[in-house]
Amino acid sequence: MNGLFRRLYYRWIDCELDHPIAIPDFDEEESGVRNQWIGETGERLAAKTLWRNGHRVLYRNFRARGGGELDLVSRHRDTLVFSEVKTRTSDQFGRPADAVDQEKQRLIIRGANAWLRELNHPEILFRFDVIEVLLLKDEVPEVRVNEGAFSSPQVGLGM
């Protein structure tokens, strides 16, 4: 790909962050479909935001055997980043990051341990981020990356 074409291509891919997202009208019976659409849209926008901020997204929706999950795994410079994405269509119930309680953190940490086991426990810097995505009608999506949102001394200890 030549330089101009690459810039135009990535600009086209990335433009979703700069325009309002049309949220489809779902019937009440389709609440599961609605929630899935919202979650997938939020993860896509979060991945694009990470890319825009210099991350290289390595994996989406990592599910470890025996439990544990990671929405996004990325590399930012020399740091491995495990990200949890929380998407909401209203700020009526507080910030999306408030939903990342200790139980959710345990699942993320289990996923991170599984990921690190796959890499044979490398000596690598890592952190846990929570990415909040707010999709409001007729507004540009709001994506906030909370770097180092939580930590755990147990990661990498073979949990």
Eight-class DSSP state of 149: E
Question: What is the distance between the alpha carbons of residues 4 and 27, in angstroms, rounded to a whole number?
Answer: 44
Of 57, 28, 30, 77, the residue nearest 131 (C-alpha): 57
The SS3 assignment for 116 reads: helix
Q: Where are the domains of the chain?
A: 10-150
Q: Which residue has the tokens 């979650």?
A: 39
Eight-class DSSP state of 32: H
CATH class of the domain whose range is 10-150: alpha beta
Question: What is the distance between the alpha carbons of residues 124 and 128, in angstroms, rounded to a whole number?
Answer: 13
Per-residue pLDDT of the chain (159 residues; tens, 9 = 90+): 566 665 666 665 568 899 999 888 888 777 889 999 999 999 999 999 999 999 999 999 999 988 899 999 999 999 999 999 999 999 888 899 999 999 999 999 999 999 999 888 778 899 999 999 999 988 999 999 999 999 876 665 444
Question: Judging by DSSP bridges, how do beta strands 125-134 and 142-150 pair with one another?
Answer: antiparallel
Contact (Cβ atoms closer than 8 angstroms) between residue 85 and residue 38: no
Kindly list the distances between the CA atom of residue 117 and the CA atoms of 10, 27, 112, 123, 152, in Å, as whole numbers in the listed order: 33, 43, 9, 12, 16
